[in-house]
């Protein structure tokens, strides 16, 4: 049996089901990253592992022990499982060193000297020795999170859970926390990390789990998930793809409505003025050159697909009918514009023409 083994885990609330049957396992030394859209049960899952949430059904074995049983010793389980929260959860009334010493003394029965030397050791590990006497309020977000990691590490957990450890930090502080987590991965710490930092997941994960709709939708190595996602939702998520659609059917079209709708979509993606103008120009030229003369014979639908940081914009035109409306002579100026602004991606399928807009 694996170090952590989860079988058929469900969590239901009255109006929502964040976990709809999750199975996975974590081996010693694994670094498992949970990714996926917000509200798909990642945090609920990780909180079930140390029983901050009580699952509705299913089993969780940690080190061979079923922690979902009624008489399970939850505090003992939690000592084995370190947890780092989004909001740090340092004890506000204690200095950093006390935050780290107090649980060791209270829960592990260490003497003050032992606890103090352990605390200093862990603070050194996260680079915060100089802040030992500070109060949590006096630290920046990144420093607080590193202190919280040191506090968890001082309990010598066998696995560390991270629940969106960088989500509450401003961008300048994300790196320092990511680096600490990287170092832990290098040290061979077993970790389960819920994160929106794709780069972190890509760099340190041994396995990436993509969650959606309360299940593990796709899993694999970072390469599988980030470079070669098999499933549509995974691909959309990791490439941050969003789409715009418009149909022109039944010999009827509303060009003004269509271009306005596309413009709105482009703005919602925070496109630059230049990108926006290119998209609108290309749509205009394609429409007047190819669609207007042929709309009696074909139904058309348009799709604009934008990925990542607007670095890839594709305009796809789907058409019906047996003939190819794009196989015709057009006005040379329009042709020049289309050629300048787009790379035509030749598609071997009938009924589809893809223009990649050059940025």
SS3 347: coil
Report the nearest approach of other proteins to the CB of residue 154 (Å).
9
User: Which is closer to other proteins, CB of 42 or CB of 202?
Assistant: 42
User: Which is closer to other proteins, CB of 100 or CB of 304?
Assistant: 100
Q: How far is the CA of 246 from the CAs of 8, 46, 249, 260, 300, in angstroms?
A: 41, 40, 10, 11, 9
User: Which is closer to other proteins, CB of 117 or CB of 242?
Assistant: 117
Q: Would you say 157 and 81 are in contact if contact means Cβ atoms under 8 Å apart?
A: yes
User: Which is closer to other proteins, CB of 67 or CB of 291?
Assistant: 67
Q: Is the Cα torsion angle 180, 182, 187, 191 positive or negative in sign?
A: positive
User: Which is closer to other proteins, CB of 99 or CB of 278?
Assistant: 99
The gap from C-alpha 45 to its chain's centroid, in whole angstroms, comes to 15
Report the nearest approach of other proteins to the CB of residue 8 (Å).
24
Report the nearest approach of other proteins to the CB of residue 200 (Å).
21
User: Which is closer to other proteins, CB of 22 or CB of 152?
Assistant: 152
The secondary element (H helix, E strand) that includes residue 356 is strand 352-357
State residue 271 phi and psi, 5-degree precision.
-70, 155
Rounded CA-CA distance 70/91 in Å is 29
Determine how β-strand 159-163 pairs with β-strand 191-194: parallel
Rounded CA-CA distance 225/32 in Å is 13
Report the nearest approach of other proteins to the CB of residue 75 (Å).
5
Report the nearest approach of other proteins to the CB of residue 277 (Å).
48
Q: Would you say 210 and 41 are in contact if contact means Cβ atoms under 8 Å apart?
A: no
Closest of 359, 331, 357, 328 to residue 345, by C-alpha: 357
User: Which is closer to other proteins, CB of 85 or CB of 244?
Assistant: 85
Report the nearest approach of other proteins to the CB of residue 42 (Å).
17
Report the nearest approach of other proteins to the CB of residue 119 (Å).
8
Q: How far is the CA of 306 from the CAs of 245, 277, 284, 358, in angstroms?
A: 12, 15, 18, 12
Which residues of the shown chain bind other proteins in the complex (CB under 8 A)? 50, 52, 75-76, 78-79, 81-83, 85, 87-93, 95, 97-98, 101-103, 106-107, 116, 120, 132-133, 148, 151-152, 155
């Amino acid at each position: 049996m694996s170090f952590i083994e989860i079988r058929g885990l469900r969590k239901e609330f009255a109006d929502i089901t964040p976990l709809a049957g999750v199975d996975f396992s974590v081996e010693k030394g694994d670094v498992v990253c949970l990714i996926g859209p917000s509200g798909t049960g990642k945090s609920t899952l990780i909180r079930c592992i140390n029983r901050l949430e009580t699952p509705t059904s299913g089993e969780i074995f940690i080190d061979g022990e079923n922690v979902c049983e009624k008489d399970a010793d939850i505090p003992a389980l939690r000592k084995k499982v370190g947890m780092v929260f989004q909001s740090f959860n340092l004890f506000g009334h204690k200095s950093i060193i006390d935050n780290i010493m107090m649980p060791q003394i209270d829960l592990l029965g260490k003497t003050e000297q032992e606890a103090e030397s352990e605390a200093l050791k862990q603070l050194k590990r996260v680079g915060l020795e100089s802040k030992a006497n500070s109060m949590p309020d006096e630290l920046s977000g990144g420093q607080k999170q590193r202190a919280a990691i040191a506090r968890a590490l001082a309990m010598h957990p066998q696995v560390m859970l991270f629940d969106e450890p960088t989500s509450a930090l401003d961008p300048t502080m994300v790196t320092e926390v990511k680096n600490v987590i990287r170092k832990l991965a290098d040290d061979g710490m077993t970790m389960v990390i819920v994160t929106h930092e794709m780069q972190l997941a890509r760099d340190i994960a041994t396995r990436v789990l993509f969650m959606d709709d309360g299940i593990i939708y796709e899993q694999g190595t970072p390469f599988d998930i980030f470079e070669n996602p098999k499933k549509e939702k995974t691909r959309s998520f990791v490439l941050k793809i969003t789409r715009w659609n418009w149909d022109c059917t039944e010999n009827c079209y509303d060009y003004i409505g269509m271009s306005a709708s596309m413009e709105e979509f482009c703005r919602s993606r925070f496109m630059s003025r230049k990108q926006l103008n290119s998209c609108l120009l290309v749509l205009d030229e394609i429409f007047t050159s190819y669609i207007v003369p042929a709309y009696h014979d074909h139904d058309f639908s348009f799709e604009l697909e934008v990925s990542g940081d607007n670095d890839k914009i594709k305009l796809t035109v789907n058409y019906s009918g047996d003939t190819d409306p794009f196989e015709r002579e057009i006005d040379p100026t329009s042709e020049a514009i289309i050629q300048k602004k787009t790379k035509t991606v030749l598609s071997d399928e009938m009924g589809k023409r893809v223009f990649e807009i050059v940025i």
